[in-house]
Structure 1
Amino acid sequence: MVSSSSVKIVSKCFVKPKTIPEESKQPYYLSPWDYAMISVQYIQKGLLFQKPLGSIDNLLEKLRESLAITLVHFYPLAGRLSSPEPQKPNSYSVFVDCNNSPGACFIHATTDLCVADIVGAKYVPLVVHSFFDHHKAVNHDGHTTSLLSVQVTELVDGIFIGLSMNHVMGDGTSFWKFFTAWSEIFQAQDSNKTNDLCLKNPPVLNRYIPQGYGPLFSLPFSHQDEFIRPFESPILKERMFCFSSETIKLLKAKTNQICGTTSISSFQSLTAVIWRCVTRARRLPYEQETSCRLAADNRARMYPPLHPEYFGNSISALRTAAKAGELLENDLGWAALKLHQAVAEHTSEKVIQMIDQWLKSPFIYHIDRLFEPLSVMMGSSPRFDKYGCEFGMGKALTLRSGYAHKFDGKVSGYPGREGKGSVDLEVCLVPEYMEALESDQEFMSLVSL
């Protein structure tokens, strides 16, 4: 396995919005969803490209310049978290100060690794974690460190662009909206359209504040040490499994045929497969309960719905559970139907109920408490147009993530590079369970080599 010491930082600077929006001079307030994220880690995702012809210095300059323009639209990402002096005991508040900040961080790094060292490796090499800034940082650290950090790592024959975004600032949907916007502005800049600051889909920055509340919420604590819990993941094997568009279509058709319906989605069908096969790999006792969670976007589920371009957090982790024995004794359709029901039952009323609970008794997510041991958590989404971010270098070769939010049973869904409905799954398991999963006939028969 390649050592992380092979990544060297060449330069580091901070980038501010090219023009300062008037609204950035005011405090930027956060929603209950954002507050709940204060103790989890940054979102870390990135894209690996074939190295383009020409000067790396020119590429870096264009990336910095387009980042400065993009930050005009996403100005809170150039700020820092701030906590005012409490007005009463057991009261801790957070907002974004967009004035007293050097901006977003921009890092240039180099490595003697080649593209094949990343793409050709059976397991994701640990060195990939070094392609991202804010290693092991929690979101509360945004009081003293950048809310957004870009690391451009130069490989022998490739370029990796790794983004680390404070999860208080937004969820996966927001993260990829920013990444896409940055690429869009880079491409326009590359086409000598630098005066055009317009985006096809500009972000809606106004946070969701329930009527009659806010704008500044407070947590029932007197000090950060009472609610910040750093998370250390166990030793994991991390592997990318690819599923072709044809396999995904057949799997969806098979699941719906078993259940006598047409409403179970491709992703629910695939999640059912991974839940059953990981459970089998763990050889759990018959009576042992095992759960599976799906990340769900609440924007369209709310009534009235949030704007599709809402920038912030608006997600829920939908849970369903079963005893290991019944999960494995029943067919694939049984598991898929349970997952489908959890999604179907996640209505606007359910979302509002969760927000009401938070307002009555604010809570903070902690990875080790939120997800039970021996569970499966399906994060991210193959619906995000991740390969649409090209930065003038053509379609990325692959997608990778950093250290953040990884534990035994964490699975992330990405669009397959071939497109057309193909899916890549990033699976994290302790070595013993990964070995067993790789020997599972049902699972491996679906995987494209």
Structure 2
Amino acid sequence: MEIIAGKTIEEWKNTYPLLNQLISTEEVFWKNPKYTTFEEAIHKISLGEKEVKEAEERLNRFSAYIAKVFPETQNMKGIIESPMVEISSMQAYLETMYNQKIAGKLLLKCDSHLAISGSIKARGGIYEVLKHAEDLAIENKLLTVEDDYSIMDSERFKNFFSTYSIVVGSTGNLGLSIGIMSAKLGFNVIVHMSSDAKQWKKDLLRSKGVNVVEHESDYGVAVEEGRKQAEQDPNAYFIDDENSTTLFLGYAVAASRLKKQLEQMNITVDEHHPLFVYLPCGVGGGPGGVAFGLKLIFKNNVHCFFAEPTHSPCMLLGLLTELHDKISVQDIGIDNRTDADGLAVGRPSGFVGKTLENLISGVYTIGDDTLYKLLRSLADLENIYLEPSALAGIAGPALLFKEKTGQEYIMDHHLKQVMANSVHISWATGGSMVPRDVMETYYNRGLQV
């Protein structure tokens, strides 16, 4: 009989009845009983505004270099940022699909269309590569923070970086962002890809000169193998998706930029105008960093929910049992197989789970068929094409109002009177780089469900 942290699965189920539905891969909506005020939660966290500000300043220093080597970023002066759009037709569709009125306004944050690598990973992954490059260049007296960083686009720098390696384990999008950025700077890059990584992502990386190592196993093994390889080479740097505070801070920078976008759209966030954000979640770094940044700015007026596939609910499992990275979905008999490749993670980040355990409002799960149905509908109604994993955040607003636990969350936090003024942001995490033929396959699958 399987024993997890001193208890049998039956004992765990008795303590947390929701596990029965998780194990049956049913769609669930969980509100976090440990959620508390920002003021109370932030005392337990070592990171803060200072670190996020430093990350933002570093990205600004690199903007001249980015604008030079990635022409698609020139109109934004080398700042990698995504648009935000209102999706009222999709909101109406969700109301019909779930037979549920959604109070407030629904927006889509299109990280699916971020320059360079077309996903949310362009925030954290690219940021960590840039930080490592800056550290090496400054340490070796090639650069000072006062310099124009566009000097890094030179043979001198490329030759210097070519003596160093960057290693990462990925289900796809993190590997893309790290591979593309590292190769551009001149690093040797090795990306360990799990079995669920899409072929086109591997092909694209190889076309950029990245060494892609394929594994038959899932994400956890790809990360472990990457870590082992990096440990054997003193000039190798391992980017640790599970535990990296650098990645986390890169993601967190999104929040101050989102604040500006909301201001430009004349959208207020305060106690009378609550903000709800729905973030697709794999290992947790991307959504965790974004949620952390949003909490620093909007405090108790923002409510962040993670969205996971029914077959890979690792963050929900870690938060629910409070075991975090000490439990995996495979431990309770879930197969971790989903078409939402970026979310196909069996074991959550312990660092993210413990950092945000009092700041995350809740987690819901969503089946692959629902993702495809939403994918097709968003394409038809809004002409926006996302990859399956990026649709996980779309259903959130409907579920918040429809599910009993969602209604309880609204009542618990005295939000019922202000929900008419609420704004809901579904975070679209990837999709713009999906090849046309692959996207057609996704769309056609959506027609069949």
Normalised by the length of structure 1, the TM-score is: 0.23
Higher strand proportion, which one?
Answer: 1
Normalised by the length of structure 2, the TM-score is: 0.23
